[in-house]
Chains A and B, each alone.
Chain A
């Protein structure tokens, strides 16, 4: 019952918000290129999907994101595992990783452009730098916080070598790794949008559509693309990572976070 009430409140709030927005836009306090109306944004969204530009934009951005995220996830887990188990690496490379994490990943763009030119590789580099470090640090923390009891039980049952790593240490750290992936995914998404905004000459991701909207003074397109970016971020977080995280935490006997 509480849930239903909760949902009802949310719906009422957003309907009221959109109505107020529409009223304000219709009152004519500002021209449409300054203050767009919800109807105009909806029309732009419909048109954008109908003529394919938004679909291509979504597909282009998601493709970059997936490639960058896959690289970050693979490398981040391996690096985090190494940092969590090898003290010398932790004291040296670990300090470097921690330091680099203080740098917003978009700050890698100038370096990436000088190295790779204004290319797909440059964007990919920025995305990887956005996600890699947080996945590494989360994995490292998960490895270090593995209950010693699991390791003792595993050794007692004859586990050693790579089997100890693959079948005990990594699975034991999985809740932390998934939390890191979730964080890494949202960092990668932010980094990608920033990189696309700043490199508008490449093929058309959502960041480019946003930048293009500004160039055309088309506020409807700007807001429509912003909504799309929010929607994708929310859907992946709520539909993919949140249920996965909840399931793993339950199975591992950890409380809700």
Chain B
């Protein structure tokens, strides 16, 4: 098994008391599988992704990659964040080369690899552009190229298309499916958009409201390339939506979900600094 999540739970401690983000979660993900984690906002799915990335520590349990326990961030598991997190002081080309520079790839090879992935995301002619000159969709493409350049085994995507307009998102869904077909990366994709999960995932894991647990799993065996308005996708999404709806109501009543959101942001800061 490529990725094993074993009894992972997370409890945040603060002055206002403790808050359980999720109960022990067990999940296995196969090599080359595209898994979507779907749940109401504030249910702790981003925290789970951070734990897999090694950017956050579980309170209990462990994450294993190829049988080895994850203890810290590593370039075989690269995260793509909701707002791309590109470095504004570097141009597009240097952003894509950043990780290669960090892991000590020689300069000529960095250039070749970075060009290859910029071509893959159709941004070859923007390599000299700076981040503030790019649209939201272009930023996410650069972030994808920057992650792929490190040739990670696992891509962790935290609502990467959540802030984009619908047209851009549809195009990026196509591109991501194509990239996945070509590279066969293992992808864990967090979203609260049901149709997005159905379009992208081999498997959709539905999480409950906080404290999150795995509520149900759906295997999506539709042929690719899937389109978001296709009847089959909408049909599958309907069943999942119904299941999710109960919990969304629950989570909106749950003031603590907002507190958790704040805590996640704080914890992440403390952890790094």
Question: Which chain A residues have a beta carbon within 8 Å of chain B's beta carbons?
Answer: 144, 148-160, 163, 167-168, 171-172, 174, 250-253
Is A155's CB under 8 angstroms from B73's CB?
yes
Q: Chain A residues with Cβ under 8 A from B130's Cβ?
A: 251
Closest to B86 in A: A153
Is A157's CB under 8 angstroms from B75's CB?
yes
Question: Which chain B residues have a beta carbon within 8 Å of chain A's beta carbons?
Answer: 53, 55, 73-75, 78-79, 81, 83, 85, 87-89, 98-99, 101-103, 130-132, 146, 150, 268-269, 272-273
Is A253's CB under 8 angstroms from B131's CB?
yes
CA distance A151 to B271 in the complex (A): 10
Is A150's CB under 8 angstroms from B87's CB?
yes
Is B272's CB under 8 angstroms from A158's CB?
no
Instruction: Summarize A's interface: helix, strand, loop or mixed.
Output: helix
Is A250's CB under 8 angstroms from B132's CB?
yes
Is A251's CB under 8 angstroms from B272's CB?
no
Is A148's CB under 8 angstroms from B268's CB?
yes
CA distance A163 to B87 in the complex (A): 14
Known A-B contacts A151-B272, A155-B55; A253 and B132 likewise in contact (beta carbons under 8 Å): yes
Q: Chain A residues with Cβ under 8 A from B78's Cβ?
A: 156-157
Known A-B contacts A156-B73, A251-B132, A253-B88; A163 and B273 likewise in contact (beta carbons under 8 Å): no
B91 vs chain A, min Cβ distance (A)? 10
A156 vs chain B, min Cβ distance (A)? 5
Known A-B contacts A151-B272, A253-B131; A156 and B53 likewise in contact (beta carbons under 8 Å): yes
Q: Chain A residues with Cβ under 8 A from B101's Cβ?
A: 163, 167
Is B132's CB under 8 angstroms from A152's CB?
no
CA distance A160 to B98 in the complex (A): 12
CA distance A154 to B273 in the complex (A): 13
Q: Chain B residues with Cβ under 8 A from A148's Cβ?
A: 268-269, 272-273
Known A-B contacts A150-B87, A252-B89; A157 and B272 likewise in contact (beta carbons under 8 Å): no
A160 vs chain B, min Cβ distance (A)? 8
Across the interface, B81 reaches (CB within 8 A) one of A149, A160, A163, A252, namely: A149
Q: Chain A residues with Cβ under 8 A from B53's Cβ?
A: 156
